[in-house]
A and B are shown apart, each in its own frame.
Chain A
Amino acid sequence: KAGVTQTPRYLIKTRGQQVTLSCSPISGHRSVSWYQQTPGQGLQFLFEYFSETQRNKGNFPGRFSGRQFSNSRSEMNVSTLELGDSALYLCASSLFSRTGGSLHFGNGTRLTVT
């Protein structure tokens, strides 16, 4: 099975711009989560989608949004970029059962805001 695919791998944007990141989950996985990884804050949960519905949301401002399509692919959008948004954005898909499950991560999109 192909793994989780994230595009693009690298992005350089200017403060104030907006950006859209894309994630294709493992085939059959309906849950997609997004995480922000920075050296200072570690892995911070952004949100989780399942069957096109956002089920969980982390403590990020409304500038961070996402969506999931009927084929489980997901996009994440960040508007009005700030310097502090520079990070590695990781997408993870999962096949959770009622009792929990593991996350399968992509290799991330490295966003640099200048």
Chain B
Amino acid sequence: QQQVKQSPQSLIVQKGGIPIINCAYENTAFDYFPWYQQFPGKGPALLIAIRPDVSEKKEGRFTISFNKSAKQFSLHIMDSQPGDSATYFCAASWGTGGFKTIFGAGTRLFVKA
């Protein structure tokens, strides 16, 4: 199965809250799991990424938790700010004679001031 299932579709949190976005996959050949952030009118931009041999990675206020046995990974945004309001995509990639990345459906996050 070459797809990544992302939830929720949309999320509203108060400033300072910790939104959590979840993703699940089936294909164990995936070996790289990035998250992208997209603002209106812009292309997605890499936020943070993790490899399956690591269970957690933090970069600033963003944390990825990875559960290899459950084939799930999630993004946590600590102390969320109105400027974090954007669409977030999880993704998975693998290389078989060339790299291919597939994306989750996206989560629209709105952080209320």
* A residues neighboring B (CB under 8 Å): 4, 31, 33, 35, 42-43, 45, 48, 50, 55-56, 90, 92, 94, 96, 98-108
Contacts and interface: CB of A to CB of B under 8 A. Distances in A.
B42 A99 contact: no
B46 interface: yes
Given A102-B49, A107-B42, 14 more contacts: A31-B98, A33-B101, A42-B105, A43-B44, A43-B106, A48-B99, A50-B98, A55-B97, A55-B99, A56-B100, A99-B32, A99-B51, A100-B32, A101-B32
Which secondary structure dominates where chain B touches chain A?
A: strand
Interface of B: 31-32, 34, 36, 41-46, 49, 51, 89, 93-95, 97-106
Q: 4 closest A-B pairs (Cβ-Cβ)?
A: A55-B98, A105-B43, A100-B32, A43-B103
B32 A48 contact: no
